[in-house]
Amino acid sequence: MRYLTILGATGSIGKNTLNVVDQFPDLFSVKALTARNNIDLLAEQIKRFSPELAVVYSEKDVCRLKGLLAPDNHTDIMSGKDGYRAAAVHQDVDTVVSAIVGAAGLLPTLSAIAAGKHIALANKETLVMAGDIVMSQAKLRNISILPVDSEHSAIFQCLAGNRKQDLKKILLTASGGPFRNLPAHQFKSITPEKALAHPTWDMGEKISIDSATMMNKGLEVIEAKHLFDVSHQKIEVVIHPQSIIHSMVSYIDGTVIAQLGTPDMKGAIAYALSCPKRLPLNQPLPDFSGIGALTFEPPDMKKFPCLGLAFFACEAGGTLPCVLNAANEEAVDAFLNKHIGFIQIPEVIDHAMGKHNVVTAPEIDEILLADQWARKTAGKWIDRFREKGGV
């Protein structure tokens, strides 16, 4: 039996994780659930899985959640940072599913590692911000960080049974997002509604925008560098619009190993929770005859400058990936609120990165300071843009 905390239980990954848990009640037991949004859904999840602890963002939501539960409900309810930390280090838990979106996932994940919990990692921002610290802490405590991100789950599976010194390249596949075929001059007219409509994956809002700008792939390059301990030079991005190949690894003898499946996160989630065992998920196989062809093309770095910014930050290291991430979060938020346009997203990030004095080998406090600095710097740029007339 695995005893789980799910950080970010009401999100896209959280819901898929609970779906897997629900199918295998003899294998998994939920001890703690956390959420920020969708308190109604959290209440339903508590009724279904009876965790010992549930955590919401604010005191106001504690009252709301209690109002949705029966008076004799036994789940403890907490709120805020202390609550998220308590869920991450819960004494009855052995594995923490890290599925909060954005920088807010970092500290609870670090707390879980410090408490010796195994991590099923969806929150890629954790590794983008503090990959060196996270991986060295995990190594120190001999705990596993298993990827939930589909590409990294694929790479993890393609690396199994092979020697690291025989690795030639990691080929990180990307769908190309909804604007792969849109001419650059039409990018000005991209609205949040259009950007949220991803062609192959059903995901939360922030990662959907990241996929549309291709920042998601950039963040995944940095995630792969840390998870698999390789230089950015060994990571290549390949556009594969059908999202059937989830990523590939090539070796020095010219062999390429790929992992394939339908685009559904339940496979990667289940593997992170049960590997090396595979669970009978009843997932449909890809309909190869129906799909006809699997195609590949290089990414268009001019149309999608976020990818280049991420490669630059990946190479520079230190606090620069954290600044990239924080500025991106601010820019995505401003875009979703229609304060800036789609093409301003990379401009905001470029501005913050250009102004930043990189700290090499930063401690966690320096990372958190860089995050705050980048948010302020990006915020000022966004405010000036709005004052000049906005979108």
Cα 391 from Cα 382, distance rounded (Å): 11
Tell how strand 245-251 and strand 167-174 pair up: antiparallel
In terms of CB distance, is 46 or 351 closer to ligand NAD? 46
Residue 344 makes contact with ligand NAD by CB under 6 A:
no
Question: Of Mg ion, ligand NAD, none, which one sits near residue 151, judging by CB under 5 to 8 A according to partner kind?
Answer: Mg ion
In terms of CB distance, is 57 or 381 closer to ligand NAD? 57
Nearest-approach distance from CB 124 to Mg ion, in angstroms = 8
> Could you tell me which stretch among 18-26, 94-102, 129-137, 311-319 binds ligand NAD (CB under 6 A)?
94-102
CA angle 70, 74, 80 (to 5 degrees): 95
Q: Which of 52, 61, 125, 149 binds Mg ion (CB under 5 A)?
A: 149
The beta-strand segments (E) located in 45-157 are 53-56, 76-79, 95-98, 118-121, 145-147
Residues 187-226 that bind ligand NAD (CB under 6 A): 201, 203-207
Residue 8 makes contact with ligand NAD by CB under 6 A:
yes
In three-state secondary structure terms, 7 is strand
Q: Which of 5, 12, 213, 319 binds ligand NAD (CB under 6 A)?
A: 12
> Could you tell me which stretch among 19-27, 46-54, 142-150, 307-315 binds Mg ion (CB under 5 A)?
142-150
Nearest residue relative to ligand NAD (C-beta): 11
Residue 123 makes contact with ligand NAD by CB under 6 A:
yes
Residues near Mg ion (CB under 5 A), total: 2
Residue with tokens 């062609």: 199
Cα 380 from Cα 250, distance rounded (Å): 44
What string marks each residue from 248 to 267 as x (binds ligand NAD by CB under 6 A) or -? -----------------x--
Residue with tokens 């000022």: 380
Cα 59 from Cα 67, distance rounded (Å): 13
Residue 130 makes contact with ligand NAD by CB under 6 A:
no
Residue 101 makes contact with ligand NAD by CB under 6 A:
yes
Residues 45-64 that bind ligand NAD (CB under 6 A): 57
- Please list, residue by residue across 318-328, b when 16 or more beta carbons sit within 10 angstroms of its beta carbon and e when fewer do: bbbbbbbbbbb
In terms of CB distance, is 273 or 385 closer to ligand NAD? 273
Nearest-approach distance from CB 150 to Mg ion, in angstroms = 5
In three-state secondary structure terms, 108 is helix
In terms of CB distance, is 201 or 251 closer to ligand NAD? 201
Residue 297: which residues within 8 A CB-CB, separation 6 or more?
176, 238, 239
- Residue 237 φ then ψ, to 5°: -95, 130
Residues 137-156 that bind ligand NAD (CB under 6 A): 149
Residue 11 makes contact with ligand NAD by CB under 6 A:
yes
Residue with tokens 């685009």: 263
Contact 96, 109 (CB under 8 A): yes
In three-state secondary structure terms, 56 is strand
In terms of CB distance, is 123 or 243 closer to ligand NAD? 123
- Residue 242 φ then ψ, to 5°: -80, -15
Burial tier of 349 (Cβ tally within 10 Å: 0-12, 13-18, 19+): buried
> Could you tell me which stretch among 62-70, 125-133, 144-152, 172-180 binds Mg ion (CB under 5 A)?
144-152
Residue 125 makes contact with Mg ion by CB under 5 A:
no
Q: Output the furthest CA–CA distance in the chain (Å, rounded).
A: 64
DSSP letter for 10, please: T
Residue 14 makes contact with ligand NAD by CB under 6 A:
yes
> Could you tell me which stretch among 7-15, 157-165, 288-296, 307-315 binds ligand NAD (CB under 6 A)?
7-15
CA 234 from chain centre, in angstroms, equals 21
Residues 18-47 that bind ligand NAD (CB under 6 A): 35-37
Residue 269 makes contact with ligand NAD by CB under 6 A:
no
Helices 305-316 and 215-228, interaxial angle, to 10°? 30
Residue 151 makes contact with Mg ion by CB under 5 A:
yes
Cα 98 from Cα 128, distance rounded (Å): 14
Per CB under 6 A, residues contacting ligand NAD are: 8-14, 35-37, 57, 99-101, 104, 122-125, 149, 201, 203-207, 265
Per CB under 5 A, residues contacting Mg ion are: 149, 151
